[in-house]
């Protein structure tokens, strides 16, 4: 018997049939003797419907009012799930974030959780109830409803699991877990039975999109394992946990990638202190986020300075950079048809040769690398977008990522 | 300058265009120097959509969960209206019933308001905000969201207006006010400039459906005038107030009617104490509500006992009554094609001749009266349903109800 926190996403609750299916899964866990706290997202499409209503009134809604509007999405799914459970003779009570006491700061639409009250949850669990909580929302000091931003239900689930000292936080979604890379690109990608928090953060930030970044950070901070698993199968999924808890050490864990990238290179930047800060300052003043940054010294007087950014921001950024380069007498090269490919793995910390193996795999396919950046557990390269899929396949095969054995059912899921 | 409580119904908020229109009306009142508190219903169709979702899961939903589900309807309309007002540079804050402190008992789906906290409302008004409150909902002692039952937003508005000591409670709807009878039946029906609380209660209970009964009772109890008026015109509507405040005394104020009635008569009921109670006891044990009751002594040993009820309950009721009558040796007559027509007016208290004038009008049309009941300010008759429209016309003309003069704009509405 354990205290489980289960989070169900919007696609898991997208129809009344799916809500009944989720109620069945919760009932099974209950019948196995577990205490269950459930965190829900809004039914698929509902949040977008509400935002659409709002946007048709104004493009710049009052944020306090926007928050209490979109918070209705989870209020609907939580009560429908509670109705479905009660109809199955499984006593359940649902609560909004404000009702249960998910206390946040006052940054509407992007609030952060400060504290979670556990009294009501613990009382209800002790009385045999399943407790269902609306994700994505909380309440500020003034009593106003706040929301956490897109994907915030994962964070709610982790915060509640941490406050309750749950054994693990189970994030139910429409995929079986975290794969070595996107199975739509590499059909024989492996499901990772385990992955470290650090690797997960690198995978998520690179577009793996299985878990919200902030929820992974929060779980890491609270020593709380997260399990990512599918609502629609009984597979044990992927456990996101600490490096030292991972059974099968691997050199690399996966390949993340993102399209829609653009690259801008300034050649012949005078070798002068603070000049990189000036360039990036101009770009960030225009509210443009940049991604990778690399710099190479070409000779003792000048540098090549290269960065990537989302393709949507490219035209605006190029204009700024060209004007600046002109004043410096530097030249600008750019390419909007590029993609980023990143190899992630905690094993590369202690093993050399990962980079060379990766570059050889790409070279073997005749793929030219336009930019490289590295961190302790990640190597990222920029390549032509049209070579991306071939590149992912080549690196995936080189590191034998299609040969990761899957795990048996884990103990918490067994009857 | 006055403190106004305005309530807007679901049809007034049925589309985003209408929400913008309502925001414009509120802004006008604000610019005229009034302090405005707004109570909203859900957007037209939204509550039904939520109930449909719930009914597709189970026919017997947990009432606590049902309440928090349907309460989202008003939460959406209140925040959209606040967003629309803020977009017009009119500062507005919206609150759910639980947030503002509409405290109710714990009878889910049919809760009664016990108290309304005014602190937040008064603070916001003092700071220049329009305060928007979700109607139809409140919170019980445990912190659970409750709902007041269909039409409960009227009651919320009256309770808040009473708590704030507002000058009047304005109920905005899609009709111009209270008419002498249904204008769909009598196109030249007059709009009543004023009507007494007692008359309004009789009109409402008889199917006039402009205001929820409980809200009229509550307003009467708190000496609070209600104004019924249209969202889509500038007509001053109908003021529901105390008898002694009404300017133009009238003998009768209106004709209410309802179709879908059925009548059951038991002839030859033995003249025995308590026998009527036995009959009605059997019917109410089957959860059937009856409407009118009349009894006539035919001879010293037996009575004729007649009652009406909604047509949907007729088959079940007839079965019960027939079995009972058989045991008594009484005979049963029934008719499902009947309607009820009621003449309402405080003037009839002190004036005789109202009943005879009514019966003559019906007789003049060859309409047979099957049953009569009277109260101090109402005379109701049961007639064939196919004669209903002719009957309403005849009585309407006999009492010159098409000749009631309408009022000038009232002071609160003037610029």
Q: Counting one residue from A and one from B, how many pairs have CB atoms under 8 Å apart?
A: 109
CB-based contacts of B81, cutoff 8 Å, min separation 6: B8, B13, B19, B22, B23, B26, B38, B40, B92, B94, B132
**Contact of B252 with B283, CB cutoff 8 Å:** no
pLDDT at B208: 53
- The pLDDT mean for chain B works out to 91
What pLDDT is stored for residue B299 in this prediction? 73
Average pLDDT over residues B309-314: 94
Cα separation, B105 vs B202, whole angstroms:
27
Q: Residue B384: its pLDDT value, please?
A: 95
Phi, psi for residue A365 in degrees, rounded to 5:
-95, 5
Burial of B356 (0-12, 13-18, 19+ CB in 10 A): exposed
For B332-345, what is the mean pLDDT? 95
Q: What is the mean pLDDT of residues B292-316?
A: 87
B50 touches chain A (CB under 8 A): yes
A318 interfacial to chain B (CB closer than 8 Å)? no
Domains B3-174 and B255-401 share a fold: no
Q: Is A127 on the interface with B (CB under 8 A)?
A: no
Q: How confident is the model at residue B415 (pLDDT cuts 50, 70, 90)?
A: very low
- Specify the range with the lowest mean pLDDT, choosing from A226-240, B36-50, B138-152, B270-284: B270-284
A322-336, B163-177, B260-274, range with the lowest pLDDT: B260-274
Neighbours of B31 (CB within 10 A): 10
Q: Helix axis angle, B152-164 relative to B119-126, nearest 10°?
A: 70
Q: Which of B154, B143, B145 has its CA nearest to residue B63?
A: B145
- Specify the pLDDT at position B73: 97
The CATH architecture one would assign to domain A3-174 is 3-Layer(aba) Sandwich (3.40)
pLDDT of residue B407: 63
B115 three-class SS: strand
Measure CB to CB from residue A86 to each of B19, B65, B99 and give the nearest one.
B65
pLDDT at B414: 38
Residues of A in contact with B92 (CB under 8 A): 62, 65
Q: Does B20 touch chain A (CB under 8 A)?
A: yes
In Å, how far is B57's CA from the nearest CA of chain A? 6
The per-residue pLDDT for B127 is 97
Q: What is the pTM of this model?
A: 0.84
Tokens of B56: 């597709």
Q: Output the average pLDDT for chain A.
A: 91
pLDDT at B376: 86
Over residues B165-192, the mean pLDDT reads 91
CB distance B290 to B263 below 8 Å: no
Of the residues B20, B23, B24, B72, the best mutation for testing chain A's interface (the one with the most A CB atoms within 10 Å of its CB) is B72
CA distance B138 to chain A (A): 13
**Residues of chain A under the 70 pLDDT cut:** 205-209, 248, 298, 407-415
Residue B150's pLDDT is 75
Question: Is the distance from CB of B200 to CB of B214 less than 8 angstroms?
Answer: no
Contact B86 A93 (CB under 8 A): no
Residue A181 in contact with residue A255, Cβ under 8 Å?
yes
Instruction: Please tell me the CATH code under which domain A255-401 is placed.
Output: 3.30.2130.10
Say whether A83 and B69 touch across the interface (CB within 8 A).
Answer: yes
Answer whether B69 sits within 8 Å of A84, measured CB to CB.
no
**ipTM tops 0.85:** no
Residue of chain B with shortest Cα separation from A56: B16
Return the SS3 of A135: coil
| In chain A, domain spans | 3-174, 255-401
The angle that helices A72-87 and A63-70 make with each other, rounded to 10 degrees, is 20
The pLDDT value recorded for residue B387 is 95
Give the pLDDT mean for B168-181: 92
Q: Over the stretch B105-122, which tens digit does the pLDDT of each residue have?
A: 999 999 999 999 999 999
pLDDT at B311 over 90: yes
A17 to chain B: which residues are within 8 Å by CB?
Answer: none
Q: What is the DSSP string of B152-200?
A: HHHHHHHHHHHHHT-SEEEEEESSSS-BSS-TTT-TTPPBPSEEEHHHH
Neighboring chain B residues of A65 at a CB cutoff of 8 Å: 79-80, 82-83, 86, 92-94
Residue-wise pLDDT tens digits, B204-256: 765 556 788 889 999 999 999 999 999 999 899 999 998 878 776 788 999 99
For A43-90, write each residue's pLDDT tens digit: 999 999 999 999 999 999 999 999 999 999 999 999 999 999 999 999
User: How far is residue B171's CA from residue A172's CA, in Å, rounded to a whole number?
Assistant: 46
pLDDT of residue A408: 52
The whole-number pLDDT of residue B411 equals 45
The answer to whether B132 and B82 have CB atoms below 8 angstroms apart is: yes
CB contact at 8 A, A267 and A333: yes
Taking CB atoms and an 8 Å limit, are A72 and B69 in contact across chains? no
Token readout for B262 is 């059925």
CB-CB neighbors (< 8 A) of A13 in chain B: none
Q: Residue written as tokens 């001879």? A: B299
Per-residue confidence (pLDDT) for residue B116, from 0 to 100: 97
Q: How far apart are CA B206 and CA B377, in angstroms?
A: 13
Q: What is the pLDDT, as a whole number, of residue A415? A: 31
Query: What pLDDT score was predicted for residue A214?
Result: 86
């Amino acid at each position: 018997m354990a205290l489980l926190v289960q989070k169900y996403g919007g696609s898991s609750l997208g129809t009344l049939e799916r809500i009944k299916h989720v109620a069945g899964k919760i009932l099974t866990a209950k019948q196995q003797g577990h205490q269950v706290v459930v965190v829900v997202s809004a039914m698929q499409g509902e949040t977008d419907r509400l935002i659409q209503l709002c946007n048709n009134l104004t493009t710049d809604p009052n944020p306090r009012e926007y928050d209490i509007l979109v918070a209705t999405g989870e209020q609907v799914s939580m009560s429908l799930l509670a109705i479905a459970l009660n109809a199955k003779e499984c006593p359940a009570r649902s609560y909004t974030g404000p009702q249960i006491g998910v206390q946040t700061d006052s940054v509407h639409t992007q609030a952060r959780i400060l504290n979670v009250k556990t009294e009501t949850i613990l009382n209800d669990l002790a009385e045999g109830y399943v407790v269902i909580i609306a994700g994505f929302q909380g309440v500020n000091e003034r009593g106003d409803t706040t929301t956490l931003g897109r994907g915030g239900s994962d964070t709610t689930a982790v915060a509640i699991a941490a406050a309750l000292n749950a054994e693990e936080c189970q994030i139910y979604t429409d995929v079986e877990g975290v794969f070595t890379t996107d199975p739509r690109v590499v059909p024989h990608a492996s499901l990772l039975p385990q992955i470290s928090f650090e690797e997960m953060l690198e995978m998520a930030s690179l577009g793996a999109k299985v878990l919200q970044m902030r929820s992974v950070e929060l779980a890491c901070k609270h020593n709380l394992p997260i399990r990512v698993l599918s609502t629609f199968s009984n597979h044990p999924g992927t456990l996101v946990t600490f490096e030292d808890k991972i059974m099968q050490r691997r050199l690399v864990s996966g390949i993340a990638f993102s399209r829609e990238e653009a690259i801008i290179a300034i050649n012949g930047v005078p070798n002068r202190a603070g000049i990189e800060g000036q360039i990036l300052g101009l770009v960030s003043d225009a509210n443009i986020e940049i991604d990778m940054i690399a710099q190479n010294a070409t000779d003792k007087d000048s540098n090549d300075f290269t960065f990537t950014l989302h393709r949507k921001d490219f035209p605006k950024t190029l204009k700024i950079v060209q004007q600046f380069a002109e004043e410096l007498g530097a030249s600008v090269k750019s390419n909007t048809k590029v993609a980023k490919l990143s190899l992630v793995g905690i094993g590369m910390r202690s093993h050399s040769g990962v980079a060379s193996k990766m570059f050889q795999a790409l070279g073997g396919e005749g793929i030219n690398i336009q930019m490289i950046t590295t961190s302790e557990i990640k190597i990222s390269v920029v390549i032509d977008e049209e070579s991306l899929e071939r590149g992912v396949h080549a690196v995936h095969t080189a590191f034998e990522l299609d040969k990761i054995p899957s795990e048996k059912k884990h103990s918490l899921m067994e009857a």
